[in-house]
Amino acid sequence: MQKAFLILIWIILLIWLPLRTSAQNKLAAQLDSFMQTKVATQHFNGNVLVAKSGKVVYQKAFGYRNYTTKEPLTNNSVFELASISKQFTAVGILLLVEKGKLKLSDTLRKFFPELPYPNITIRHLLTHTSGLPDYMDMLKTWPTNQFASNQDVLAFLIKTKPASFFKPGEKWKYSNAAFVLLASIIEKISGQPFPDYMNKNIFKPLRMQHTSIYNSRHSAGASMANYAYGYVYSERRDRYILPDSLLSYGFVIPRDGIQGDGNVNATTADLLKWDRALKNNSLLSTKTQQQMLSPQVTVDPSSAMYLATKIKSYGYGIGVGTNKYGNYLWHGGNQPGYATNLIQYVEEDITIIVLSNNASNVLEITEGLAGLMIAK
């Protein structure tokens, strides 16, 4: 009887495994056909990874990591993540909260009493409800060949006292300055440089071996293997070039020294490790992780983020939404030369990562890949 049962199981496996493999191969071929179209029609240059329940379904690199030398991208190429970085900064803060070194209700002026912005809490900073002014005004007059720093942003806000957009908690407005100040709070409380703190407490524990706070322009004496340089298209020169030499991108070099709102660099594989860490509460307690990934505030429907993504809610450093494919966790990023997208469809447990180093339309590509994965 037992022998007959084992034979039956073996027969079922012999039939099922080839069928499963065939279905997976067909899906991967569909995803690849879609991406090849985007390369041909929209000149997509970058890396893509699609996973189901943490298992890679499709992973591929398209184009160059260096347009000048024609060195190709590989699956191990490292990209500037731009604003995807904000969720890493959020976890860095929440780790300090769990250790009892911070409270979400702590005010900004508790750490920087010189700042002229009362009643802004860490929670306001995490959810883009602080009303803080943008630091980009500072960069308009900054020497285009010199790096700025978080300390420079802090000094700018203290000295010039630019007006807030609104009272804390009154509205929602996306704020890069908020996450720069969160990174500065991390440094002040931990006593470590922000890159060192993030490496020790997040990147190393998750074995994200190709992830760091890095920028090729300002990381003096450091280099990163397989780094994907970010390019913009020049109509006048009719080719992709680095943005450094263009007057319209005069803020690029100064901004490269500022951390917390951007400057995390990673591969698609490392981002999948990060995605699994959020899914499995690998760094934070279940309670804190749930708070981070739950809708904390409503996104302003007139904001650029809403108009581009239709995302309605924001947690701590991450967007929380629902579309025709289901509930999702999302963040994207844009910086001259880079466009990035990371989304996890919660119930389906599908992860889609699209990183471009020529500022391709990653939102459109992500939606197309989701449609193929969820068969809609």
Q: Which percentage of the chain shows pLDDT scores above 90?
A: 80
Which helix (H) or strand (E) segment is 23 a member of?
A: helix 2-42
Q: Which percentage of the chain shows pLDDT scores above 70?
A: 91
Residues 108, 277: contact at Cβ < 8 Å?
no
Structure tokens at 272: 């999948």
What the chain holds in terms of domains, given with CATH numbers, is 43-373 (3.40.710.10)
Q: Tell me which of 83, 175, 190, 360 is the catalytic residue.
A: 83
**Is residue 175 annotated as part of the catalytic site, yes or no?**
no
| Structure confidence at residue 5 (pLDDT) | 58
- Does residue 138 carry a pLDDT above 70? yes
| Structure confidence at residue 1 (pLDDT) | 56
> Per-residue pLDDT tens for 299-355?
999 998 998 889 999 999 999 999 999 999 999 999 999 999 999 999 999 999 999
Q: How many CB atoms lie within 10 A of CB 176?
A: 20
Give the span between the Cα atoms of 253 and 219, in whole angstroms.
Answer: 12
Residues 352, 331: contact at Cβ < 8 Å?
no
pTM comes to 0.92
Q: What is the mean pLDDT of residues 207-214?
A: 94
